[in-house]
A and B are shown apart, each in its own frame.
Chain A
Amino acid sequence: DIQMTQSPSSLSASVGDRVTITCQASHDISIFLNWYQQKPGEAPKLLIYAASNLETGVPSRFSGSGSGTDFTFTISSLQPDDIATYYCQHYDNVPITFGQGTRLEIK
């Protein structure tokens, strides 16, 4: 199985900060990587698909990059509404697996 390692596991930042989360795959997964946002008590929401494509309706402050084994998720200017846990997920093969999540808090 492909393991997805996210870092950091949690982070605290101020409104307006640039925030970066990384995800490393244990094997080359090309660009077969998605990013999700999960707010407390809610279902996950797709933000980025195929490593760098913004899902329809998602604000442009969210972005993704990377290929192979190393991926980055960025919020260019943190907003209060961005408080959530973020997960990466590969779909290179079965089983698909998620990273352990990054809990984002506002300072």
Chain B
Amino acid sequence: QVQLVESGGGVVQPGRSLRLSCAASGFTFSSYGMHWVRQAPGKGLEWVTVIWYDGSNKYYADSVKGRFTISRDNSKNTVYLQMNSLRAEDTAVYYCARDNLAAAISNLDFWGQGTLVTVSS
């Protein structure tokens, strides 16, 4: 069965960096686009970024553009989120999610359980 397992969350000071990982299993990882979506405590869902199946295209929310970088290693079935210059407003549970398509955006049909990032001094 499809599984997505995020890791790498934790408490980090403002201005510092953190890298999240999402390990995929149960499907042909290299055939699907992958997203990161976040949810601040008690708030709604906010899309962060997407990467095409082969890494050829990446798109970002304005709120993270220039600070966050998505990447993937299809040999390791893993997608990453490098987060630099972190701010308090980046505090959230970060979910990775699979897109139903390889090189377009459609529906996010499988989600991980999320990893909590807390930005605080």
Contacts and interface: CB of A to CB of B under 8 A. Distances in A.
B104 to A, nearest CB: 9
A91 B104 CA distance: 9
A91 B46 contact: no
Interface stretch (A20-28, A69-77, A95-103): A95-103
Given A49-B100, A94-B50, A95-B59, A44 B107 contact: no
B113 A98 contact: no
- Chain B CB within 10 Å, residue with most, of A91, A97, A101: A91
Nearest to A98: B45
Contact of A91 (B62, B97, B106): B106
Interface size range on A against B: 20 to 34
Contacts of B100: 49
Classify the secondary structure of A's interface with B: loop
B105 to A, nearest CB: 5
A46 B108 CA distance: 7
Interface of A: 34, 36, 38, 42-46, 49-50, 55, 87, 89, 91, 94-101
20 contacts: A36-B45, A38-B45, A43-B111, A43-B114, A44-B108, A44-B111, A46-B108, A49-B107, A50-B106, A50-B107, A55-B107, A87-B45, A89-B108, A94-B59, A95-B61, A96-B47, A96-B50, A97-B47, A98-B46, A101-B44
Interface of B: 37, 44-47, 50, 59, 61-62, 95, 97, 100, 105-109, 111-114
